[in-house]
Amino acid sequence: METARGAAQVERAANQAACLRFLADADEPRTVGVISEGTGLSRPTVHAVLDDLLDVGLVEPASPATAGPGRPARAFRFARESGMVAGVDLGPRGARAIICDLSGRRVAYAEVPANGKADLALISRALDAAATQPATRGDGATVDLGRLRAVGVGVPGVVEGDGRLRASLAMPDLVGLPVGELLVKEFGQPVVVDNDIKLAALAEQRGGAGRGFSDVVYLQIGHRLSMSIVLNGVIRQGRHRLAGELGAQRGMRWTRNAQRGQLVWSARPTGAQVLTAAAAGDAGAQAELEDFCAQIAPRIATVLLVVDPEVVVVRGGPTEDSVAILRPLAAAVENELVFPERPPFVAAALGREAVVLGAVGNAFDRYSSAIYGIQDVSSPWSYITHEVERTTK
């Protein structure tokens, strides 16, 4: 009896998720007949599911998009605006915040500078800034943060499973703080905190340059060199959440120009500017990039032989400039490998929004049941990563 009841609950949850996703993908209200045809479920089943979704406030009655003669059929729409999920990318220079509705569509976005030493207060400031910028919504309305159902946060450093920041070169003042616990108390909603580079890797795997691949190595060349790994579609954390933290090896320097992990360039002040110059044909910048790639290639090759990923996603600046490093990096790594099989190197697609997109997507992943009030609703990654601003690529 218990087995049969459990099977029925699983089937009911799957039917609820199917109908909700169908309505979430629709821009207009849909009738029971259309929902039945689109999901493959019988009309009685759809009626029962819609009653459940009405009870939890996820759908609401609406006029059908098209109406013929006679009595109009009942139609329903996904009440996507009934709840919100937010993501925040907190760093030493400032914070980015994104707010999505329940369908994963962006309704607000903002960036705020640190204006001094960055701290946890920046998270609320960024969310408030996003919520009060009607231009990001296009309808003149602001966002009610009281409708938040979950928050995801990305921070630089080693983050424990409970959200405590164990180590961070970029934000040492936050080390030891129970970041997750403090934010749960502040927002009164579930909060998930993770490493920023790991969240960027997750976003690229789910909806960026690594989309369609299960195993992705993500390499970011910014003020520092950072790496993260996604295996079978899941961030590889490791037993002590140190997976990918190659800079934690005592005495290890990625390159000759690394000073306490910070990269120092000669052709231009920053790595992004070196990439831009190299992409424009500057011989000095190209030579520095080639030398840089030759230095990091042995460690990249070691990671590839251990993980054997399907693709390597590289982020060094704007997408159009990141391609300048792909050829010399792939060639340098090839020189380190015996076997001819190797993954392609591709430029990251999500730009500087990758972390904040990963943060909000991670919140959907982690707290799906709490967000929707029903089981097994897949996270809306295709919508989360769909509206990346062109200026960030």
CATH number of the 83-200+352-392 domain: 3.30.420.40
CATH number of the 210-348 domain: 3.30.420.40
pLDDT in tens, the chain (393 residues): 456 566 778 888 899 999 999 999 988 899 999 999 999 999 999 999 999 999 999 999 987 655 555 556 789 999 999 999 999 999 999 999 999 999 999 999 999 999 888 899 999 999 999 999 754 445 556 789 999 999 999 999 999 999 999 999 889 999 999 999 999 999 999 999 999 999 999 999 999 999 999 999 999 988 888 899 999 999 999 898 888 877 666 555 667 766 666 788 888 888 889 999 999 999 999 999 999 999 999 989 999 999 999 999 999 877 788 888 999 999 999 999 988 888 999 999 999 999 999 999 999 999 999 999 988 889 999 999 987 643 344
pLDDT at 270: 87
The alpha carbon of residue 313 and the mean position of all alpha carbons in its chain are separated, in whole angstroms, by 14
**DSSP sequence for 212-241:** T-SSEEEEEESSSEEEEEEETTEE---TTS
- Calpha distance 52→133 (Å, rounded): 34
All structural domains of the chain with their residue ranges: 2-78, 83-200+352-392, 210-348
The percent of the chain in helix, strand and coil, each rounded to the nearest 5, is 45, 20, 35
- Calpha distance 308→367 (Å, rounded): 31
Classify burial at 9, counting beta carbons within 10 Å of its beta carbon; exposed 0-12, middle 13-18, buried 19 or more: exposed
Domains 83-200+352-392 and 210-348 share a fold: yes
CATH number of the 2-78 domain: 1.10.10.10
pTM of the model: 0.91
Parallel, antiparallel or unpaired: strands 258-259 and 262-263: antiparallel
Round to the nearest angstrom and report the end-to-end CA distance of the chain. 55
pLDDT at 259: 64
- Calpha distance 131→145 (Å, rounded): 7
pLDDT at 333: 96
Where residue 159 falls (left for φ over 0; alpha for ψ -120 to 50; beta otherwise) is: beta
Dihedral angle over CA of 377, 381, 383, 386, nearest 10: -170
pLDDT at 73: 72
H or E stretch at 185? helix 179-187
* Partner residues linked to 229 by β-bridges: 217
